Amino acid sequence: MVEIKLTNTRTRRKEAFAPIDPANVRMYLCGPTVYDRAHLGNARPVIVFDVLLRLLRHVHGEGCVTYVRNFTDVDDKINARAAATGRPIRDITDETIGWYHADMDALGAARPDHEPRATDYIAQMVDMTGELIAKGHAYETEGHVLFDVRSFPDYGKLSGRSVDDMIAGARVEVAPFKRDPMDFVLWKPSDADTSGWDSPWGRGRPGWHIECSAMSKALLGDSFDIHGGGIDLQFPHHENEIAQSCCASPQADFARVWLHNEMLQVEGRKMSKSLGNFFTVRDLLDGGTPGEVIRLVFLMTHYRKPMDWTADKAREAEATLRKWHALAAGAQDRGHLDAGIVDLLADDLNTAGALSRLHAMARDLAENATRDCHVEKGIFLSSARLLGLLLPGMDGWLSAGPDLSAQAARLVRLRDEAKASRDFAALDAFKAALTDAGVIIRMNRDGVELDPSPSFDAAKLAALS
């Protein structure tokens, strides 16, 4: 069996992956807070862990992996949006989840096996909170329940911090009722206008971190294999999850392997609203960048390095995918994979290396274009699909856009006439007009292919006929 190696944030080392139960490999990914469209940065963990999911299913078996990704649907940002719009919270979260599914589907990301909503697990969160109080790891004060970080000696281990150092950093908001400035909220009171649930500590709502502890336990158990998310979640979110889960279930391991993807940048800078380079996945899709192109751009950079989104990369990825789609046309996915691709992905998800392998396979196919190569083409296709590329139904963008078949037919006719008469003036004039209208022309012996470029102008095209 292929040995998968993953860089475990907890140990800061690349380790051989050994599942607790090979018949049921369990993975949890921190999902979105559902109050608005997913921005481009949200897509990175989704794509990274989708590749890992495909690899795990390949190595351990289709039915031997359980993948959970939560929806945080109780949050003060959601409350604020409900208050601002007057809409019920459930309307907002339902709508946002629908958007999220549509956008992530467009990136070719498989839906997780379970997508728990925090609001469906309030009872489990209350139970865990009560358990932490009973075990002396949490305390109730002024309607809040707080986790006592001094009760957990390993607090800070995941992120390499010590409680004392962080306090010395003096950037911690100190609420007067906290025993220690680093103590964090498990449960907080809600006023009459804020969503809340009854609990032993009065009507209130959970703190952010407890949901992942409660839901991972409910769906994957006290101990599971992989826990993932963006590196920004390492502290405090994941640190707090570990504290909660390990103190509630001290006999268990909680998550054995912690995987964190590095952050996204845009044109070399942090994506932020103030810099004006903030955009959502939907913005890109609606702007004509296909989801498959977005995915390929992401895969070009290793997940543990900062990734820069640039328009240049998107152009390059689109050209590559056009070539690959053409090469794989008519190929059959028989599930036979290139061993090199599997080995590269198994080595801590070396997607960039895997892509270079696909390039090499594509070159071989192109060199042997005169032969049939159906076996090689099938391997190429199956291997690309391990990366979530060239998936069935993902090639719609290739033929999307305006119908240019009439212009293509006219171009063929003019070319035939020109070749017969040796007078190319009319043909060249038509080609120039098409180019001016933003149409990309590709001609070869067999026919012509027309595609709209980013500067496509429908009005100019219409004027030609």
Partner RNA sequence: GGCGGGUUGGCGGAGAGGUUACGCAGCGGAUUGCAAAUCCGUGAAGACCGGUUCGAUUCCGGUACCCGCCUCCA
In the range 347-406, which residues lie near RNA by CB under 7 A? 347-348, 350, 352-353, 355-356, 359-360, 362-363, 366-367, 369
How does DSSP assign 1-39, residue by residue? Answer: -PPPEEEETTTTEEEE---SSTTSEEEEE---BTTSPPB
Site pattern 87..126 for RNA (x: CB under 7 A):
----------------------------------------
Smallest gap from residue 326 Cβ to RNA (A) = 8
**Phi and psi, residue 191, nearest 5°:** -85, 180
Which residue, 285 or 307, is less far from RNA as judged by CB?
Answer: 307
- Report if residue 33 touches RNA, rule: CB under 7 A: yes
CA–CA distance from 230 to each of 29, 30, 64, 149, 284 (Å)? 9, 8, 25, 23, 21
CA–CA distance from 435 to each of 116, 260, 377, 453, 460 (Å)? 51, 46, 33, 9, 10
Q: Please list every residue from 4 through 23 that binds RNA, using CB under 7 A.
A: 12
Site pattern 47..76 for RNA (x: CB under 7 A):
-----------------------------x
Q: Integer distance in angstroms from the first to the last C-alpha of the chain? A: 61
Contact 259, 6 (CB under 8 A): yes
Smallest gap from residue 357 Cβ to RNA (A) = 8
How does DSSP assign 260-321, residue by residue? Answer: EEPPEEETTEE--TTTT---BHHHHHHTT--HHHHHHHHHTS-TTS-EEE-HHHHHHHHHHH
Q: Please list every residue from 324 through 343 that binds RNA, using CB under 7 A.
A: none
Helix or strand or coil: residue 428?
helix
Q: Please list every residue from 119 through 138 that binds RNA, using CB under 7 A.
A: none
Which residue, 251 or 273, is less far from RNA as judged by CB?
Answer: 273
Binding residue for RNA (CB under 7 A) from 313, 325, 377, 385?
A: 313
Partners of 309 in beta bridges: 266
Q: Please list every residue from 159 through 188 that binds RNA, using CB under 7 A.
A: 159-161, 165-166, 168-169, 171-173, 185, 188
Q: Which tokens go with 59?
A: 């190595």
Q: Please list every residue from 187 through 226 that binds RNA, using CB under 7 A.
A: 188, 207-209
Binding residue for RNA (CB under 7 A) from 306, 340, 402, 438?
A: 306
- Report if residue 323 touches RNA, rule: CB under 7 A: yes
Binding residue for RNA (CB under 7 A) from 235, 288, 438, 457?
A: 235
Smallest gap from residue 391 Cβ to RNA (A) = 20
Q: Please list every residue from 432 through 461 that binds RNA, using CB under 7 A.
A: 440-445
For the chain, the C-alpha Rg in angstroms (whole number) is 27
Smallest gap from residue 450 Cβ to RNA (A) = 11
> Which amino acid, 237?
H
Binding region for RNA (CB under 7 A) out of 106-114, 219-227, 331-339, 425-433: 425-433
The backbone region for 434, taken as left when phi is positive above 0, alpha when psi lies in -120 to 50, beta otherwise, is alpha
Smallest gap from residue 258 Cβ to RNA (A) = 12
Dihedral over Cα of 307, 313, 314, 319: its sign: negative
